[in-house]
Amino acid sequence: MARDHMILSAFFFNPQGDHRMSWRHPRAPEREVLDFEFYRDLVQAAERARIDTIFVADHVSIWDSVKSGVAHYANARLEPLTLLSALAGVTKHIGLITTASSSYSEPYNVARMFA
């Protein structure tokens, strides 16, 4: 008999926080969002908390060219497939999930990157 259980997932959407102005919070991360150690610590904390999966969405651009009402908001982030490949080496029990755009890469090459 199959047992039902809840799967818990964390979404690493925006390293500075999900609210557009969260970068202004005194404890918001700064340049460390461009360092592997920042994400290693997050994913290891999630693993200790028994989170099942980590999801990192891919973005095809940095949002500094999109009208947002914030003059200096760039939303910089690391490329997710490379990041998750590195995180696979420092975790044991978390599923790692990402997306990739096939609008700017041929589907064959996207499939090869995931393989």
Task: Label each residue of 83-98 as H, E or C.
Answer: HHHHHCCCCCCCEEEE
pTM of the model: 0.75
Strand ranges, E, within the chain: 9-11, 53-56, 95-98
- Does 67 map to a domain? yes
Is the model's pLDDT at 71 over the cut of 70?
no
**Sequence-ordered list of residues with C-beta below 8 angstroms from that of 28, at least 6 positions apart, any chain:** 16, 17, 22
Indicate the average pLDDT of the chain: 79
**Structure-block tokens of residue 91:** 């975790």
Is 54 in contact with 46 (CB distance < 8 Å)?
A: yes
Number of domains in the chain: 1
- Does 4 map to a domain? no
Arithmetic mean of pLDDT, 46-69: 76
What is the SS3 assignment for 39? helix
Q: For residue 2, what pLDDT is reported?
A: 63
Range of the domain at 32: 9-20+27-105
- Does 2 map to a domain? no
Phi, psi of 31 (to 5 degrees): -65, -15
β-strand partners of 98: 56
Q: How far is CA 98 from CA 50, 56, 73, in A?
A: 19, 5, 23
